[in-house]
Structure 1
Amino acid sequence: MDVMSPQLMWIGTRCYRVNSVSDQKVHQMYGQQEESKPYIEEDLYEEDDRELEYDIQIKEGGKFQTSFHVPSVFFAMIIGAKGATRRRLEVETKTQIIVPKQGSEGDILVKGSSRRGVVSCRQRIELIVLGARSRQPFTHFLSIPLNSEEIKRNFRIFREKVLTELPSAFTLDDSLFQKAEKLHLTLCTMSLMDNEDRSLAAQLLQNCHETIIRPVVEEFGSVTLQLRALEYMNDDPRAVDVLYASVESDALQRIADQMMELFVANGLMQRKYDRVKLHATLINSLFRDNADGYGGVDEKRGPRVTFDATEILRDFGHYDFGTQKVTEIHLSQRFSTACDGFYEATGMIKL
């Protein structure tokens, strides 16, 4: 681990530094003849937001326990090589961790003689799961369909002009452009690994209507956006991977930021930025010959090939795609297509 740049993870509103402990140290701890006092990091916060939400039960004999859902794909990370990770957590928090057998579903159960130890163990397991989840390819994303006739019409005009009027058009082809039916804003992406994950994400989306969206709509009257001006995700405009349109909407920015906070607090995604970058992807080098239209990689294809966007930025840098009233937010499924040409929705709310 780079001590100058340690791995950081967020759970709720707390930021934690992830410290690794070698398996050798675990064996040394178990090899001691005299029982050593396990180390439990002191909680510098008087009250932890997440602890207040935990269902900690008191069983016979004054024992504490908590059970919680973890997708089975992450069980191996909690157990570790030859059980080293689980043993380390149990020693350091004075708890017992019960993980369902391989190939089965079920909740993780943590037991201990102290509430503090049980809470600490659960928090550390959630850190492990969050880190493992962040390394998975994303499966779903919160999206806003850009389905107004004005925006779709102006996008088609933009695509036609770029392909037919610019000298650099020979380096591009139609497959690099987003499909007009799938134009959207991405608010955030997440990896939902099982039905429980998907159910939780859909329920959180529904909860956003009253807690986040309604107050914003009452303040602004409605949520509208304007799509204009081009930006790119590389340092060199001659070698661009993604070209996108900027979004202007104070109301939508507030909604997106608060929704991101909610999904981060519930462990379904990791915080990467302080604010959501509102954007609509127009051209992506990964779209080449890709039927999905989001950027899924065809393993049979070679590495990403960048394109020169200097002429596009020069002639269309301030292009106005139009405005749209936001009427719905989707929990969209990656690599899918619904009957209307957009993505299949795992959940949806109307504004």
Structure 2
Amino acid sequence: MVDFLRPKTVWVDGRCYRIISPLTDNTNVNYVEDDSCGFVVIGKDVRTVRQARLKIQMLVEQARKKQPFTHFLSIPYNNPAIQTKFLEFKKEVLEKCGDCRGVDEAIFQYPGKLHQTLCVMVLADDRERQQGLDALNKCPDNVLKKYLAGEKLRVEMRGIEYMNDNPGEVDVLYGRINALSWSHSLQTIADSLVDELVKAGVVNRQHERVKLHITLMNTAFRQDPDGVTDIKVGKDRESFNARQIIEVSVSIVIDCGPREFGDYYFGEMEVDEIHLSVRHTTANSGFYSASGKIPILPHPA
């Protein structure tokens, strides 16, 4: 039920309905909402009912485009070892680059919510949430079995990049993710997961390909510390100067000697699950609450 439809309660054949005022003066139809089957459109003929239905669909679609997203498909990267390395990265950045314009603690991701966002969506009611879950539950057979064939998905988080061409005016700085097995294309898996939700009609495609990244710093966090970064923020968003972060040499011992932040090693992990995460929530684990989850590998029988 969308907010712009203002109902009045009536009784028909012993049942309670809500009447929706005509959307225009010339529709000549009544709109009622039946809890058992959704909207009921009553008109004098098929043509007027079809016209009214089209108007409702258009209004709902317009409202949906303006509504902030409610859910997102995510891969958690809150492995304890990676959280520890992220906190070390944060500490070193604040110590060595804290004097750079716009660099402060408020723009760092919360370590318990490190994740990769595959896509975002609006699931406004129980029916839409169930559609999202149904689409997610098809992914193990349609995507994961096809591309992983029962093998584990191990990934490495190494290096940082930024999302524009000017390191002095950065809004998002992120960590790079790669699959460790040569036989697995993380890009193909991510794109195919999103394709499943697009085909189910629960996601409008936002990008041609999924951006493989883990957000580490984002100026949007100043306005929305929720931790999800695919959001629109106000025009007063203040960028930060990332030049020194990209260029400074720090003592990160991997194989040999010091490295730059640009090649910072955050660690390796095995991806266990994919979540249909709920925005503005926190589970007991510190990650987002989930409407549903699917395992990367099927559970043993």
Residue number among 196, 209, 212 corresponding to 2:143 in the alignment: 212
Task: Tell me which residue corresponds to 1:330.
Answer: 275
Any conservation in 1 of the 2:154–2:268 contact (CA below 8 Å)? Answer: yes
1:269 and 2:203 aligned: yes
**Secondary structure at 1:262 match in 2:** helix
SS at match of 1:178: coil
Q: Does 1:314 align with 2:259?
A: no
C-alpha distance in structure 2 between counterparts of 1:80 and 1:309, whole Å = 54
Cα deviation per residue 1:250-309 (whole Å; 9 max; x = unaligned)? Answer: 433222211211222222221122211121110011213755233599x9x993221111
Deviates more, 1:136-145 or 1:253-262: 253-262
CA-CA distance at 1:82 after TM superposition: 4.4
Cα contact 2:97–2:103 (8 A) shared by 1: no
Contact 1:175–1:289 (CA under 8 A) maintained in structure 2 = no
Partner of 1:307, secondary structure, is coil
Q: 1:80 to 1:169 in 2, by over 3 A?
A: farther
Q: Which structure shows the bigger proportion of residues in strand conformation?
A: 2
Residue 164 to residue 102, structure 1, CA distance change in 2 (3 Å): farther
SS in 2 for 1:304: coil
CA–CA separation in structure 1 for the residues paired with 2:230 and 2:189 = 27
Cα pair 1:163 1:169 within 8 Å, conserved: no
After TM superposition, the score normalised by the length of structure 1 is 0.63
Percentage of identical aligned residues: 37
Report the secondary structure of 2:226's partner residue. coil
Q: State the match for 1:242 in structure 2.
A: 172
Q: For the residues of structure 1 that align with 2:122 and 2:57, how far apart are their CA atoms?
A: 15
Residue 295 of structure 2 aligns with which residue? 350
Separation in structure 2 between the aligned mates of residue 262 and residue 135 of structure 1, nearest angstrom: 24
Partner of 1:83: 24
Corresponding residue number in structure 2 for 1:230 = 160
Matched position secondary structure for 1:72: coil
**TM-score, L = length of structure 2:** 0.73
**Cα distance in 2 between the residues matched to 1:252 and 1:97:** 51
Tell me the CA shift for residue 168 of structure 1. 3.2
Contact 1:228 1:320 in 2 (8 A): yes
2:21, 2:31 within 8 Å by CA — same for their partners in 1? no
Unaligned runs of 5+ in 2: 7-19, 249-260, 297-301
Aligned to 1:139: 70
Partner of 1:198: 129
Q: Retained in 2: the 8 A contact 1:233–1:240?
A: yes
Residues 292/208 of structure 1: CA separation in 2 closer, same or farther (3 Å cut): same
In the alignment, structure 1 segments of 5+ residues that lack a partner are: 1-70, 88-95
Aligned length: 264
Give the letter aligned to residue 129 of structure 2: R
Counterpart CA distance in 2 for 1:282 and 1:80 is 48
Aligned residue among 135, 160, 170 for 2:91:
160
Q: Aligned equivalents of 1:303 and 1:200: distance in 2?
A: 37
